[in-house]
Structure 1
């Protein structure tokens, strides 16, 4: 009987010693996952986090295509063309983001930046080409940003998870040093989350509303430009231009005043030098003749 009791006790101790390390290891791992920072936890949690979030994101995020375009139209009347453009924009639920008008001697140009729902973009282009004026140029481009959007969305979700972890750690911070470090990590994560959310909003805006730069141009005939200038205006302009040329000439001469002052002295010096040279030559020739 005693032998049975001893054997039962030994078996109980052995079984307890085998199970205790597993329980301790589980508790340690759980504690580490609660306190490790983002950079250290990323390797151990990446597989589980991504497996939970990535498929959901890929399933919920549709294709993200950004469409942009440029179009130039030659029109007979800028005001009439603008009225037609406004009517088409209203039908297509589009709006004008900015408008610039230039009136030169050769042409009138109206430049518009238009935002239109992406599903109406192609119809808007066709409406402008058919009912406004002659197409001078047209450039359409598409950019697939699905991969970038998905990547930013997954990283944003992971940052939110880490932010919740740090906020829970802040409640249980034991020292002031730990509290400051956790608060700094929270601040950095909040800044990164704001940037990521802003990027997603920007992409959504560019995807949902395409951008078209439309230019309406009316070329002015040469006769209409020159006919506005009469003979009297041309004569007065010519007189004014001649006077300006004369004034410029006089001012140019005045700017050369140092040379005008020095010129007489240079001439006098040159004449004296030439006279002396001639006298010297004459003396030399006379002396040679006397010797002969």
Structure 2
């Protein structure tokens, strides 16, 4: 039974990895530059690849487009609307402006101009019904100024689907065999493992079915040149200078702070009155002693014989 479990695991891994399977894969990858080719011919080429059908074959189709457009925002809105009209949906749209430089210039005492140089770009991922993939790629192609690259893949998953069907039957049969066994701890574990394998296969089948129905298209668009944005702002330098120093306000505060300083000094002296009293007594006795010494010295000078 352990060998059966290992085989089931391997089967599930193979099913989950069906998208990376290269056997029987039909893919077209072309990197284009600006040419004088007729746009109708380009559209026909896109359609022939994206709408490719082969009898008794099933393909998961994906595409990647990298191009430059006149206006990224307008192109984004148009592409998103086109996707919705075709019955698809947008899974991700990351539109951003990359600022190259930013400088401000004073135009008057109160006004200034902020000048930004930037380049806008957008990374998108959309999904459309597979039968509408060619229509979407044709629409996107008409929006380009310069095509950097385009990749269209049609991955043959026919064998993987057949294999998944056989694995489903095998897992079902294994479940029936397990149910006939005597109830033990090993039976419970085997039944749990089998159900887990069945759930994983069903999830893989749902994933394959979804990717067969809807094609994923990754789109990267950007503008070929920098744009310049001029934004009116306040002259902050002049405002800073205006309020940097207020003389009368500072003088008034200095006078008040000086008055508070005097108060603090007086309060401080009151707090140390014992020290002042002791110092006063000491100074008094010191002067008294000095005065007595001076009197004695004078007396000796006047009566040298005594």
* Structure-1-length-normalised TM-score: 0.51
Conserved 8 A contact 1:102-1:108: yes
Q: How does 1:1-292 map to 2 (within 5 A)?
A: 63-105=57-99, 106-131=118-143, 133-169=145-181, 173=182, 178-221=183-226, 224=228
CA distance in 2, matches of 1:219, 1:104: 13
1:102-161, Cα deviation, whole Å (9 max, x unpaired): 211342111110111111111110111124654332111111111112112211111112
CA distance in 2, matches of 1:76, 1:96: 21
Conserved 8 A contact 2:75-2:143: no
Instruction: Provide the aligned C-alpha RMSD in A.
Output: 3.0
- Change beyond 3 A, Cα 1:123–1:63: same
> Which residue matches 1:8?
none
The structure with the greater share of residues assigned to helix is 1
Conserved 8 A contact 2:65-2:220: yes
Conserved 8 A contact 1:69-1:213: yes
Alignment gaps of 5+ in structure 1: 1-36, 41-60, 234-292
Q: CA deviation at 1:208?
A: 1.2
Q: CA deviation at 1:213?
A: 0.5
- Change beyond 3 A, Cα 1:133–1:168: farther
Conserved 8 A contact 1:153-1:200: no
CA distance in 1, matches of 2:81, 2:190: 53
Q: SS in structure 2 opposite 1:104?
A: strand
The structure with the greater share of residues assigned to strand is 2
- Change beyond 3 A, Cα 1:66–1:129: same
> Which residue matches 2:248?
none
CA distance in 2, matches of 1:66, 1:99: 23
CA distance in 2, matches of 1:134, 1:203: 34
CA distance in 2, matches of 1:118, 1:162: 36
Alignment gaps of 5+ in structure 2: 5-54, 100-117, 237-306
> Which residue matches 1:22?
none
Q: SS in structure 2 opposite 1:204?
A: helix
Q: CA deviation at 1:38?
A: 9.2
* Structure-2-length-normalised TM-score: 0.49
